[in-house]
Amino acid sequence: MRLSFYTYSYTDRLKMPIVPCLERIAKVGYSGIDVSGTNGDSADPRSFDASRRKLTRRTAERLKLRVEAVITHAQLTDTLADPKKKLLDLAGTVDLAADLGATVVTFHMGGYHEGMDRKAEWKATVSAIRKAADYAASKHVHLAVDGIWPVWINDSLETQQRLFDEVDNEFFGINFDPCYLTLMGVDPTKMARRFSKQIVHSHLKDHRGTYPKWTHLLPGRGVLAYDRIFRGLKAAGFTGSASVECFTNMKFETACDECFGAMVKSAGAGGVRFTRS
């Protein structure tokens, strides 16, 4: 298993320069990064332009950081409900991932829309994921739905299983997010066991409170027992990247340094040793 750091809150939201940000991440000891699939206010992956792609990849390679995953922000079902808005371009994001050397693209599913037939919306969603996964496979990139959520069409382990069954593509997986699973009342280790073959990436964050009202905290400061979570991931055979995810109200230097130590300690207690390969 590898430990990485998601840069979006800092390089995109807070406009920190990419080079010193990645230099800090590498110096602390992370083996990789996750990056946003867009830049600025645009939802278009082309907003992550050629110069930014080149700078990100060259800096990561110089620092021996893997670009693990490209993270999108718009919801798939919203895009399908109103294609003119072009909220989510999965094919374009797969191209971005390929340019950066990343092997995972995550996306948010989204919910049903009032006035639309639910069976038709489900069918359209399955078709869109299958088409995007086929394209991703041609680039050796995995698509990963960014977890399950109460107001999305994949609102449970059962509906997520149905999606996997109907899409039926090995390049369609899931991003394991124990924070949001816990908020939903789902045991993360149960989810890890059930979808051991489909988990292709993980995001590590923490919280205090319960759904629908909670506060995000640095991983290690909240309610999650990360030693148990890492033990569950190990038992599920997960060997990919687990990426620390922090927010703009969390100082970068503190988040970067403290979370590395906390996650290494929790992983060790769970019988996991992070590697760089």
* CATH code for the domain in which residue 89 is found: 3.20.20.150
Please report the pLDDT score of residue 29 as a whole number: 98
Please report the pLDDT score of residue 260 as a whole number: 98
User: 172-176 and 199-204 as β-strands: parallel, antiparallel, unpaired?
Assistant: parallel
Exposed/middle/buried for 51, CB within 10 Å: 0-12, 13-18, 19+? exposed
Please report the pLDDT score of residue 117 as a whole number: 97
Question: Is 218 domain-assigned?
Answer: yes
Question: Is 275 domain-assigned?
Answer: no
Please report the pLDDT score of residue 277 as a whole number: 80
Question: Is 139 domain-assigned?
Answer: yes
Total structural domains within the chain = 1
Please report the pLDDT score of residue 124 as a whole number: 97
Please report the pLDDT score of residue 85 as a whole number: 82
Matching residue, tokens 């050796």: 140
Q: Where are the beta strands (DSSP E) in the chain?
A: 2-6, 32-36, 66-75, 104-108, 142-145, 172-176, 199-204, 206-210, 213-217, 241-244
Judge whether 277 and 4 are in contact, CB under 8 Å. no
Question: Is 2 domain-assigned?
Answer: no
Question: Is 33 domain-assigned?
Answer: yes
Please report the pLDDT score of residue 257 as a whole number: 98
Phi, psi of 18 (to 5 degrees): -65, -45
The CA distance from 206 to 68, in Å, is 21
Question: Is 39 domain-assigned?
Answer: yes
Q: Region of 52 please: left (phi>0), alpha (psi -120 to 50) or beta.
A: alpha
DSSP helix/strand/coil, 101: coil
- Which helix (H) or strand (E) segment holds residue 126: the answer is helix 118-138
Under-50 pLDDT residues of the chain: none
Judge whether 246 and 28 are in contact, CB under 8 Å. no
Domain that holds residue 117: 8-269
The CA distance from 256 to 241, in Å, is 16
The CA distance from 149 to 120, in Å, is 20
Question: Is 50 domain-assigned?
Answer: yes
Question: Is 251 domain-assigned?
Answer: yes
